[in-house]
Amino acid sequence: MGKKVYETSPKKNRFSKKKILLSIFGFIVILGLAAFLFVNGYINKSLPITEGTVELSVLENEVTVITDEDGVPHIQADNARDLYIAQGYIQADRRMFQMELSRRQASGMLSEVIGEDAVNQDKYFRTLGLRRAAEESYEVYSEESIEVLEDFATGVNAYIEEAKANNSLPIEFKLMGFEPEEWTPVDSLTIGKFMAFDLGGHWEQQAFNYYLLNEYDEEKAYELFPAYPENRPAIIKEEELDIAASFEDAIIPHPFNGSNNWVVSGDKTASGMPLLADDPHLGLATPSIWLQMHLESEDGLNVSGVIFAGVPGIILGHNDQIAWGVTNTGPDVQQLYIEKRNPDNANEFLYEDEWEEAAIIEEPIKVKDGETIHYEVTETRHGPVISEFAEDTGKETVLSLRWTALDASTELEAIMEMNRAADWEEFEEGLEKFLVPAQNFVFASQDGTIAYKANGKIPIYEDGKDALLPLNGWEAENDWQDFIPFDELPAVVNPEKGFIATANNKIAPDSYSYHISNVWAQPYRYERIEEVLESGDNFTVEDMQNLQMDQTDLRAREFVPFFQETLNDAELTEQEQEALKLLADWNFTADKDKPQPLIFEHWMQEIQNEIYEGKIPDTMRSLFSTESQSIDNMLRLARDGEQSIWLGENGGVENVLHGSLQAALEKLAEDYGEDMAAWTWGDYHQVEFNHPLSGVSPFLAFFFNNEDAIPVGGSSVTPMAASYNSKTGVVDHGASWRFVIDAGDMNAGYHIVGPGQDGHFRSEWYHDQMSDWVDGNYHETRMDNAEGLELKLMPQK
């Protein structure tokens, strides 16, 4: 018999192949789904714990944490030790990655986890020595304050240990391939020093001024020196003054790091009790700089407000008897010194005709996937040598930095006392320990008192002009001799006008006994706040919220009429005439839906470019923190019939205004089309709140920046502060927290924390306040009847 041959049908063959492909596809889908579920489960494991029970062996007694509907944790403990342990644990649970990056940035230790890209930044912070200053500060703290720091660190470490054991650290640690190390009290103090860095610098302006005098003749150079416009308001009036009571490698604090705050007496409020408002202006990102919390213990502490992640206590807010807020004072607390180096010994510097040996500090920098860098910091008697970061200024010159924040200081002790203060006297007593950064404190209390104090460690300059330039380091007469006595710092209590407001503007009249600063914010924000508060009575919480969201642009109100008058006889194109007509019909609000703020802001940008581009190197312009103020001063000179050298060299004010308007309109037409009436400020001016890892890839940006950019009004000079990157229009700086309280009900505060409370991108409180930030929707936080999810932190049995 022959062998039977079986033939495969083409149809069967196709079916077989299809079945195999479907099986493979199914396997891939299942594998992908499994991977998704695994990753999803891993990510969700690191979500903040808001309910149930957690055992913490470090606690003495049970602690209750109620997370309200806005994500605010209300921590209730029997004693202070348990309270601060719980605060450390809860902060870490919500913001551990942020805390880790903060301590590493301030300590100059980012290279260890990021790699070579962070080396120059690490060198800068190692040179400044914020961590060294924090270590010195730790040595002067009281035992009670050290206990608070240690208790807080104990709570943070309890979280770290638990998260490592449960494999539940935030996903950012997994993406970057490292785990957090043990938290220490010095880490918290170092973060505090970083905030002094962010709010207390002006050495770059001294370096820029020095550059100007070496590059231009004196008259031309001095025209760009900082100046406050004449006859514009100071915070304290004469009659109110109360005396008794390569630079890209450095990090330059934002020139608009400031704030608004004000307090209104009961004589001008609907409740008959003081109103207080505060909105600190800092960088806008995810997570927020601030974490809102409420702390309560059986020993009498009951305080609510915000704190920097990584620091115990409440730095801004209220207790059940008083409330307070701050803005940046901006005094001259940094001084550059020109040092003479011994040609025969690079580690010696001249002082009073003798060579002194500098301290050489070893600061080895570990680099991820690289070799440890042997780095040394040189410190003269004045401070660290920072020449390598001073661009053209430091090229042939040894520059050292004297700075109050590098001294030992006791801000945490001040915070602890402020949190428990019951009246102005107790609060002011606590302020004596708050040395850096210097801040404008406003205060309100249940007893009806309103008060203000410009607080901090402010050097005495016999001549304020000395603070404009580097000084000769070899002459003892140039050393700081002393600081303004605490009892003589500018202060006012219960002024007759019924309110006190600050917006980083000039503090005291020229008759004040001491020099404070040469650089003040332009007065526009303050003038608008003063305008509103002077014009009304029966103010309410809602009125204060509306003022914080006020978009009135007094810079435009001042200059637009002058621009129109100047160009009145110029030969203008139809496009330019249309732009001027739009501006003439403007009510000077920086409304996101209007074209006028878009035109005006771009016009001002182009004026700056017309004056400075190609004349001052970009590296040096990065040091020019008062660039926009200098333009305003030039325009005022021209308006008042006086001569400006810089305007004159560019063809005069009419030529500058016409050329810059033309350039601005051409750019806007290219970006937004020819229909000028259809342009809007919000097309360009938008807020994003970016996560630090979102710039690594579009994939990470999709997850971490899970909200689209939102058009927003305001500008850098409106009470609703919304400063932006002029190249992109992205709003990256503004009111990082908004707060209003009526002393008639000290248990209720009204807040906005943009973009939200939590640092975990899956949390419901991650970006839930982005739209609130744009629209001015405040949430009420009460101290007397917190409701929400309940978590019990239990000592182990």
C-alpha distances (whole Å) from 27 to each of 20, 22, 41 are: 10, 8, 20
List helix spans (H) across 571-680: 574-584, 596-612, 618-621, 627-639, 645-649, 653-672
DSSP state of 583: H
Chain centroid offset of residue 572 CA: 42
Strands (E), 3-125: 52-55, 63-67, 73-77
Amino acid at 442: V
Q: Of 137, 259, 628, 723, which is the active-site residue? A: 259
Q: Does 369 show up as a binding residue in the annotation? A: no
Element (H, E) at 307: strand 302-308
Element (H, E) at 376: strand 376-379
C-alpha distances (whole Å) from 466 to each of 127, 231, 393, 775 are: 24, 23, 17, 45
CB-based burial label for 481 (10 Å; 0-12, 13-18, 19+) = exposed
DSSP state of 182: -
Question: Rounded distance, CA 167 to CA 170, Å?
Answer: 9
For the CA atoms of 678, 683, 684, 686, the dihedral, rounded to the nearest 10 degrees, stands at 150
DSSP 183-206: --HHHHHHHHHHHHHHHS--HHHH
579 Cβ neighbours under 8 A, 6+ residues apart? 599, 661, 665, 676
Q: Are 409 and 392 in contact (CB under 8 A)?
A: no
Phi, psi of 679 (to 5 degrees): -65, 150
CA nearest to 644, candidates 676, 622, 611 = 611
Q: Are 234 and 508 in contact (CB under 8 A)?
A: yes
For residue 756, the tally of other CB atoms under 10 A from its CB is 23
DSSP state of 746: T
Question: Rounded distance, CA 57 to CA 5, Å?
Answer: 78
Strands (E), 467-567: 471-472, 491-493, 499-502
CA nearest to 403, candidates 128, 98, 747 = 128
DSSP state of 567: T
SS3 729: coil
What is the C-alpha radius of gyration for the chain, rounded to an integer number of angstroms?
29
Q: Are 30 and 769 in contact (CB under 8 A)?
A: no
CA nearest to 701, candidates 713, 710, 692, 711 = 692
For β-strands 686-687 and 258-264, DSSP reports them as unpaired
Question: Rounded distance, CA 158 to CA 542, Å?
Answer: 41
Q: Is 46 a catalytic residue?
A: no
Chain centroid offset of residue 680 CA: 27
DSSP 406-460: GS---HHHHHHHHHH--SHHHHHHHHTT--SS-EEEEEEETTS-EEEEEES--B-
Chain centroid offset of residue 91 CA: 19
In sequence order, the β-bridge partners of residue 53 are 792
**Distance, first Cα to last Cα, the chain:** 86
Q: Which positions make up the binding site for Ca(2+)?
A: 332
Q: Which positions make up the binding site?
A: 332
For the annotated catalytic residues, the residue numbers are 259
